Each structure stands twice: as C-alpha cells, then as structure tokens.
Amino acid sequence: MKRFMKRFMRGLAIVFGVILGLIVIFLTIERYRGKFALARYKKELTAKGANLDWRTGFPTPSADDVKKTREFFDAASTITDVNASVCSIETAWSKDLQLGERRVVWKLPNPNVDGSVTWEQLEREMEANRAGRERILRVLETPPLLMSHAPVTLVYSGGVFMKKRQVAQHFLGVVLLDLNKGRTEPALKDLHSYAELTRIHREDSDLPGFIIREAQMGMGCGILWQACQFQGWTDPQLAVMQADFGKRDAFADLISAFALGRVSTVEVYDFVRHHDVRSVMMRELVEGQEPPGWGWDLLHKWEYYVFPFWKYAWADQDELHALVLSQEVLDLLHSFSTNPSWKGIDVSLQQQIADEKKQMRGGLFIPYNRCRYLCFGAGGYDQRSALGRVVQRVMENETMREMAVAAIALKRYQLRHQALPSKLDALVPEIMTQVPMDFMDGQPLRYRVNADGSFTLYSVGLDGVDDGGSTQPPQKGYQSYIRGWDGRDMVWPVPAK
C-alpha cells in the first residue's frame, strides 16, 4: 500500500509539474505575443503622426493659467449653492405642459413652480454672492486656456465638475433675475460671461474637460431660450448674443479629446504595470474620483487573484485592445469631420458593437477574454456604447446651440424686416454666414412659418427621420418622454400658455 501511494504521489507530482510547465509556457507565449503585437501597432500609429507618449502628450499650462485657475476655483468656493430648481432652467417635460412647451421662468410670479423661492429671495442670494461673482468675472476677462498637464485620469475630480456646474447655475440665475427686472444690458453682459464660462480651459483638449464644457453649453441653451422670449432686445444686442454663442467647432474638439484620451490610456496601463492592485485602487481613492471607465471596477473579487497573471501575460494584449478600439472610434469620427451626422455615426458604431460582440462572446473565449482584458474589460462593446453616448450628447448640445443661434437670427431678421423669412437661407449672408446645421443628419435645420405668424424650428431627432416637427414620442404613452429629444423630432419649444 505504501509503495502504491508513493508511486501515485510521484505520478501526481509529474502530472502537476507537466500542467504547471504547460501553464508557464502558455503564459510566456501570451506575454511575448502581446508584447510584439503592441509594439508593432504603436509603431504603426506613430508613423501616422499619433503621439502616444503621455509624458509629452499633455499640453503644459502657463504660470498665468495656473494663477488664474487657482483664482477661479477660490472664487467658485465662495459661491453659495443657489436653488437648483431655479437655475438649472426647466428642460424636462412635465405633465402640466403640452409636449413641446416650456415655461418662461422669468415671467412667473416666483422663479420656480412650487413657489418655494421668490424673486426677492433670489435677488438677495445673488447680492450675497456678488464679491465671488466679480472675482470670477475678472478671471473670465482673459480666461485661462489650460488647467493641467497631468494625465486626464488625474485632473478632473467630481469636485471640479461640481464647482464649475455651481458657477454656471449661479450665472443662469443672474440672467433670469435680469430678465425678470427688465434689465437688458446687464442680462446681455451676464450672457456674455456665461459664454466665456463655457470656454474656460478650452485648450484642455481632454475628454473630461470637454464633457464639462459641453454640459455647460447644454445648460446655456436653456437660458438662451428664456432670453429669446424677451421682447425688448435691439438688433445690436442680439448680434452680440449671436456672436457669443456662435463661435464653436465642437466636433473638431471632440476628435481632439478622443485623441488625447488615447494618450491617457497609455498612461493608465503604464501605471498599472508598475504597481500592485492595492496601489491602483489607492490611486482612485486619493484622487477621489469615479473609475475612469477602463475596467477598474473589475479589480476585486476573483480578478484580484488573476491580476498577477494578467500583469505578466496579458497587460500588453489588454492595452492593444484598448488602443485598437480608440483608433476605430477616432477613424469613425474623422470620416464624419466634414459633415457631422449622429445618424451616420450611430449606424457605424452599432455595427462595430455587433461585430465585437460576435467576436468576444464565443464559447471558451468568454473566460479567456475576461482574464486577458481584465483592466479594459472583456466587453469592449460596452466601452464603445459609453463613448457613443458621449458623442450623442455632444451632437444634441450642438444641435440645440445651432437652434438657439438660429432663433436669435430670426428675431434679428424680424426686427429688420417686420416679418419672418420664408426660409432659413434668407438669413445668409445678411445675418448668418451659413444656414444653421442639424447635427442629427448633417442637413440644415428644418423651419417653416406658421399661419399664426409664429415659426416652427426643429431637428429631425435621434432617429434622423423628418416627422414634420412632431413632438410626440415614438411609442404610445408618455412614460419614456422626459425631454425634447424623446420626441420624434426635437422642436424648438414654444412658451407654455
């Protein structure tokens, strides 16, 4: 019996040794397969002009930018939290409104629907924040262009976003108060300040900074609609407003942001390769921000034990996967750079997602891909979907901005000619340099003059189909109708009756 057990244990040890040897050989092959493939791919990208060196890929702010940025956030910290229900500007549909309607807030007896805040309270709040606001205005006279040269995953914490959002809400509240009191010149000045706020750190061409600026522009479209309902503007005042919000090339900025995001990806993998799981997770805790979207949430439970094998064998394959996805998205955006169209981008993006799902969800490849794409995430199609949502929101905001600028131009035309133009083309070149664009399908915005003398201005909406300016949701019932983009077309709202 002892001889049998001894022989059995020896055989078991040999089997275990063979299996262990095969595992080592497999992991080593995987290591060098990824290493050579990543080096080859980086060489190809570099030959095309891509900068993948995160040490030199991030622009460096000047000493003046650093000083002004510090002054901006110091001043922002003194701004108290103005009632958000007032200053966020109503954009969502509510049951007491008809679809396509919006309240003219500055005409209401109180600046919010439930009456919990009065105009007198709002004015006192704005006066209490005057000192901080004036400090911010001084910074906005020559706003800082750059915030930081650090990798983007380390720059924007939730605190930065919230401070910028709070300042934006404050200026929206100031404009509403000006309109309520009939103060056109102060309202125009404050609208100009808000436009400058959307351009602060405008040369920070990283994705988080770009998203913050786009969010501010989205909020700005709401206050522009409110301003367009005011009847006391002169043509020169409207010209200033049009110029303030008409100077943008957001799609080019979006491409730059995605390109810099690729550099950030290289930095992330460089950091992970040289640190253990605890250090990686502590980096997040120290920065106090959400995971940057590259699969950090996978670094727990069983993945914790896979991590050492991933570092040895699959880190390069994982980085290669992330870079390939980034490049495919960049190539897709570049293909639409001359005529941006969300419908065209979405169709191509959905095809990419379908192709990757087919590739990644096949039999034994599921656990294998979960291991080798630990940091990036085995579901690269999820990353594409997330990036697609960013692109969609940018296209929505830019379409709304084009609609706001078109509405301002229509008011100017009406002041000059005492009538609305029959077509948007009539605005060019007298008032606009080109016909305002619908980023949903890459065509001009739709427009018509109504029998009652009003006008209908609209985008074809997310599906890219012209439904004649219909505000009705695509499905029956209003359960999914939350904002104008949930309608068949996105229509420039009319004042609620």
Taking the domains of the chain in order of start, what are their residue ranges? 2-58+255-389
What average pLDDT score do residues 359-370 get? 66
CA 304 → CA 271, 290, 307, 373, distances in Å?
Answer: 17, 19, 5, 13
Which tokens is 343 given?
């419908």
pLDDT tens profile 9-49: 787 888 888 899 999 999 999 999 999 999 999 999 999 88
Q: Are 169 and 190 in contact (CB under 8 A)?
A: no
> pLDDT of 277-313, one tens digit each?
655 554 544 344 444 444 444 445 556 778 888 889 9
Residue 209 has pLDDT above 50, yes or no: yes
Of 306, 311, 300, 298, the residue nearest 382 (C-alpha):
298
Q: What are phi and psi of 311, to 5 degrees?
A: -60, -40
| Averaged confidence pLDDT in the chain | 83
